Structure 1
Amino acid sequence: MKNITAEIRIYVADLAAYNNGKLHGCWIDATSNIDEILEQVDDMMERSPEGFAEEWAIHDYEGFGGVSISEHEGFESVREKALFIEEHGALGVSVLDHWCGDIDDARQALDDRYCGCHSSVADYAQELTEETGDIPSHLEMYIDYERMGRDMELGGDIYSVELGYQEVHIFWSH
């Protein structure tokens, strides 16, 4: 996963200048309100070295981790993703990336499917097993929680996001 920088921003380029071999654009804080973003784009376009600047494109971005931003993505969509990442940090990036940038699915995953942070998938399988039934003490040593957790992932019941040492976030898949 790419690093998440402190600032979540986009570089908006003037396409008229770009097509004529000139770099002209500006970095914009992607968490700004839409009016501020549009104002900055308008200001940049007015200062174009070309007299006929009408179109822009997002040519770069920072702070979005592995989440892709297309060059013609709407500013409202970019802002929604930026605010989601700002609120949820690295976990937000991973969830948004898992759902291919679909902000609604990512929100639903965090709101409705999140099972918490565990030291491993096996730790979650053990917790779930112990919470849902009584295991006779003479059988406890025979339960393979690592295999159980792996089967839960391979079977599509859960997906996990590992953000660090013993920091595994678990989500129900459905």
Structure 2
Amino acid sequence: MTKLLNCLDTICIYVGTYKKYNDGSLFGKWLNLSDYSDYDELLEAMKELQQDETDPEFMFQDYECPSFISSLGLISESYISNDIYDIIDQISDCGYDIKVIESFIDCFGVSDLNEIIDRITECYVGEYSDDETFVQSLLEETGDIPQNIPSYISIDWESTARNVMYNYSTSNNHYFRSF
């Protein structure tokens, strides 16, 4: 699992310019965001790479990043947010794995970064292999299933899970209380 602390290691951008592209050149270079301490240092590297242009209009012809980075609008073909390093730090402080954040966004969409962090903290239940395993664990942990239940009583976990899941959402085996 990739921790958000190392999230910058997974973000790479291919930096070219619109002028070169329009002139038929794909000249550029892959830059890894973790090689730079902040946006200003990244910007200097981009300018140095394209130093043959006086005022380069950067084009990010390709980029690799966790899906939530592009979902938050932090990177696109013509834009990289100057707040990207601060935002990654802020998200990293919440302590959740990248897959948890991506699963949350898949379930509930993206609205506001602070809301995402607050909601994950409030709603995240855990990772389970399937709905039945999740519901059985949930009901046992909350005490809704007595520990001394007779062995001749059989619980239809598929049906129980179907009913309980009305109050939960899941993506990639990560479970969240619906809000």
Please give the TM-score of this superposition, normalised by the length of structure 1: 0.69
- Point out which structure has higher relative CO (alpha carbons under 8 A, 6+ apart): 2
Match of 1:144 among 156, 161, 170: 156
**Cα deviations by residue, 1:63-109 (Å, 9 ceiling, x for unpaired):** 42576342234334544359858972433343345534854343234
Q: 1:28 to 1:150 in 2, by over 3 A?
A: farther
Say yes or no: does 1:38 pair with 2:47: no
Partner of 1:59 in structure 2?
Answer: 61
SS in 1 for 2:10: coil
Say yes or no: does 1:104 pair with 2:114: yes
> Is contact 1:126–1:145 with CA below 8 Å preserved after alignment?
yes
Where does structure 2 lack aligned partners over 5 or more consecutive residues?
1-6
Say yes or no: does 1:117 pair with 2:120: no
> Separation in 2 of the partners of 1:107 and 1:173?
15
> Separation in 1 of the partners of 2:90 and 2:20?
30
> Separation in 1 of the partners of 2:28 and 2:111?
25
Please give the TM-score of this superposition, normalised by the length of structure 2: 0.67
Say yes or no: does 1:75 pair with 2:81: yes
> Is contact 1:67–1:100 with CA below 8 Å preserved after alignment?
no
The count of residues paired between Structure 1 and Structure 2 equals 160
